[in-house]
């Protein structure tokens, strides 16, 4: 049986006396009554943990100073050479050990840690650092991120402050295994040079998408449209939805991270007016959280440096919005592939390095706006812009407050999502500047015989119109009698009758 001090310290029946003997973990009571847990390292170093006052914990060094190998748990590693975990606490090594994982504990602060890391990389297929989500460990995380290994950071919690606590809380390793898989996948997704076999370590998860099956995380995407179509408003709405993880145009968003909004065209006053209106529909708590987690930048002089500086201060940033790409390109030739690539390449590098999603706002050519077609060939500038983006959304302005949003490019999106029938038709609320899915969508299947009547001119910008007004306008435009107009309304507009008696929906629109 373990003594009382060890039993109280580990609080887990799986950590038996045999395991403690194997790892050479002992305890004793000091003259002042404090209990000391001793952890013996492979080189003879002994870490003495004071359970009464951890600040009084000490380390006894033994052996040759030039050959120290301060790695706890190294001799007890299993013969399996698949994965080994590096932790920051000796007790976590034991807790992982009883669950069947290979684990060691050491710090990169000691001068021989790099040698230990090299040995582990040589002997194991995967070396993974795992730490609690705690400010105390943020510097360790930063250190390990420099050494080309995956890092598992346990989810933030007020009750779980260690790996041992995490495993105790869930009573299962399934959640831990899922966290490890995601961390490994995230690590390999950032690589720009690797053997093809590493692709097998990348897992496709539901939360790999910001918008399920439409907008993946960690890519460059574009939102393009004509002038005054509302691109910036829609992007700001998306930023707020991302921070709050609220629905965006009917789609559930995966976000809950910070946003960097690079506004190169609008000044402080314009942004303030827009954000005041956009946040007016939020609760006080939502407004505060959203505005504190959206960071504004107006300087386009050194975008890559800006990203680096921002990520140092706000590493929990997941989305960067560039408004607009043409301002970032600046004095370079937008029609030159080489010039455009020189701008896009640093953005792509930042995406890989920091696991970011970048959404740039861009314009259609004037000719495309006149023709009214929404497709990727209408983008302003060289094809290098379209080539770099994995997903491109097109926003087209309609009559009055109506807009059409389409996916005009999606490398991994099924064709039905990019078809005309999948277009979303939006309506802008001019009071709070939020777009919402319109009850009405453009009608692409009006009967041929109806096309002889110019319904867009008859209805104008009205979505609904009384029959009397329709009748008068038909008489005037086509020089017909009142009875003839009534017949046209009865035969041609019956399918567009509104719930309110005597009113009709615009036949260029379909409910």
Q: What is the CATH number of the domain that holds 255?
A: 3.40.50.300
For residues 129 and 51, membership in a common domain is answered with yes
For residues 415 and 268, membership in a common domain is answered with yes
Q: Give me the mean pLDDT over the 163-188 stretch.
A: 81
Domain assignment present for residue 65? The answer is yes
Q: What tens digit of pLDDT does each residue of 380-436 get?
A: 887 878 888 989 999 988 777 888 888 888 876 666 555 444 578 888 998 999 999
For residues 226 and 321, membership in a common domain is answered with yes
- Residue 104's nearest CA partner among 113, 474, 267 is 113
Q: With 60 as the cut, is the pLDDT of residue 149 above it?
A: yes
Please tell me whether residue 275 adopts helix, strand or coil conformation.
helix
Six-digit token string for 495: 């399918």
Of the candidate ranges 213-217, 294-298, 322-326, 504-508, the one whose mean pLDDT is the lowest: 504-508
Distance of CA 105 to the CA centre of its chain: 31
For residues 170 and 316, membership in a common domain is answered with no
First CA to last CA across the chain, in angstroms? 75
pLDDT of residue 69: 81
What value does the mean pLDDT of the chain take?
Answer: 83
For residues 238 and 137, membership in a common domain is answered with no
- Strand ranges for 324-373 from DSSP E: 357-363
Burial degree of 470 (CB within 10 A; 0-12, 13-18, 19+): buried
Domain assignment present for residue 443? The answer is no
Q: With 60 as the cut, is the pLDDT of residue 59 above it?
A: yes
For residues 162 and 247, membership in a common domain is answered with no
Please give the radius of gyration of the chain, using alpha carbons only, rounded to the nearest integer: 31
The enclosing domain of 134 has a CATH number of 3.40.1360.10
Domain assignment present for residue 55? The answer is yes
Q: What tens digit of pLDDT does each residue of 430-478 get?
A: 899 999 987 554 444 444 444 578 888 888 878 888 999 999 999 988 8
Domain count, the chain: 3
Q: With 70 as the cut, is the pLDDT of residue 170 above it?
A: no
Domain assignment present for residue 166? The answer is yes
For residues 48 and 92, membership in a common domain is answered with yes
Please tell me whether residue 379 adopts helix, strand or coil conformation.
strand
75/41 Cα distance (integer angstroms)? 9
For residues 193 and 214, membership in a common domain is answered with no
Domain assignment present for residue 216? The answer is yes
pLDDT of residue 444: 43
Domain hosting 427: range is 208-438
Q: With 50 as the cut, is the pLDDT of residue 329 above it?
A: yes
> Looking up tokens 């790695």, which residue turns up?
71
For residues 490 and 403, membership in a common domain is answered with no
Query: 16 pairs with which residues across the strands?
Result: none
91/446 Cα distance (integer angstroms)? 72
435/331 Cα distance (integer angstroms)? 33
Domain assignment present for residue 152? The answer is yes
- Name the packing angle between helices 467-478 and 482-492 (round to 10°): 120
- Look at residues 165, 184, 200 and tell me which one is the last residue of a structural domain: 200
For residues 151 and 287, membership in a common domain is answered with no
49/70 Cα distance (integer angstroms)? 16
For residues 477 and 409, membership in a common domain is answered with no
- Residue 391's nearest CA partner among 269, 212, 267 is 212
- Look at residues 379, 414, 438 and tell me which one is the last residue of a structural domain: 438
For residues 498 and 410, membership in a common domain is answered with no
Neighbours of 438 (CB within 10 A): 20
Confidence label for 127 from pLDDT (cuts 50, 70 and 90): very high
Q: What tens digit of pLDDT does each residue of 65-122 get?
A: 666 788 899 999 987 788 999 988 898 999 899 889 999 998 777 777 888 888 998 9
Q: With 50 as the cut, is the pLDDT of residue 262 above it?
A: yes
pLDDT of residue 213: 83
- Look at residues 153, 168, 200 and tell me which one is the last residue of a structural domain: 200
């Amino acid at each position: 049986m373990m003594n009382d001090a060890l039993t109280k310290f580990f609080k887990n029946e799986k950590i038996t006396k045999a395991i403690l003997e194997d790892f050479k973990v002992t305890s004793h009571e000091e003259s002042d009554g404090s209990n000391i847990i001793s952890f013996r390292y492979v080189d003879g170093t002994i870490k003495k943990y004071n359970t009464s006052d951890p600040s009084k914990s000490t380390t006894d060094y033994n052996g040759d100073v030039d050959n120290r190998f301060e790695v706890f748990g190294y001799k007890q590693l299993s013969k399996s050479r698949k994965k080994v975990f590096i932790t920051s606490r000796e007790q976590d090594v034991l807790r992982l050990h009883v669950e069947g994982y290979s684990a060691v504990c050491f710090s990169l602060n000691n001068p021989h840690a790099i040698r230990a890391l090299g040995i582990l990389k040589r002997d194991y297929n995967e070396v993974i650092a795992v730490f609690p989500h705690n400010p105390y460990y943020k510097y360790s995380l930063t250190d390990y991120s420099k050494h080309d290994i995956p890092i598992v950071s346990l989810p933030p919690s007020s009750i779980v402050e260690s790996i041992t606590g995490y495993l105790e809380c869930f009573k299962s390793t399934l959640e831990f295994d899922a966290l490890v898989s995601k961390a490994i996948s995230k690590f390999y997704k950032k690589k720009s040079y690797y053997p093809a076999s590493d692709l097998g370590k990348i897992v496709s998860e539901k939360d790999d998408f910001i918008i399920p099956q439409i907008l993946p995380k960690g890519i460059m995407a574009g939102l393009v449209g004509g002038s005054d179509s509302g691109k910036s408003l829609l992007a700001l709405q998306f930023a707020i939805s991302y921070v709050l993880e609220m629905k965006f145009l009917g789609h559930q968003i995966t976000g809950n991270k910070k946003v960097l909004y690079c506004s190169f065209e609008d000044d402080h006053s314009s942004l303030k007016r827009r954000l005041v209106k956009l946040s007016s529909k939020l609760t006080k708590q939502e407004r505060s959280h959203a505005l504190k987690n959206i960071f504004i930048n107006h300087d386009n002089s050194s975008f890559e440096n800006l990203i680096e500086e921002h990520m140092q201060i706000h590493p929990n940033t997941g989305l960067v919005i560039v408004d607009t790409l043409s301002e970032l390109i600046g004095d370079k030739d937008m029609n030159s592939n080489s010039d455009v690539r020189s701008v896009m390449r640093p953005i792509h590098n930042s995406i890989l390095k920091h696991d970011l999603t970048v959404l740039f706002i861009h314009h259609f050519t004037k000719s495309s706006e006149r023709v009214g077609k929404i497709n990727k060939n209408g983008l302003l500038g060289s094809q290098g812009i379209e080539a770099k983006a994995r997903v491109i959304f097109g926003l087209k302005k309609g009559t009055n407050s109506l807009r059409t949003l389409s996916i005009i490019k999606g490398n991994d999106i099924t064709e039905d999502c990019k078809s005309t029938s999948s277009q979303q038709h939006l309506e802008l609320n001019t009071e709070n500047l939020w777009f919402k899915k319109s009850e009405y969508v453009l009608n692409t299947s009006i009967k041929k015989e109806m096309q002889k009547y110019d319904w867009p001119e008859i209805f104008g910008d009205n979505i609904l119109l009384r029959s009397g007004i329709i009748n008068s306008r038909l008489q005037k435009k086509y020089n017909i009698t009142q009875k003839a107009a009534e017949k046209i309304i009865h035969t041609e507009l019956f399918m567009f009758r509104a719930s309110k008696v005597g009113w009709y929906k615009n036949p260029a629109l379909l409910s």
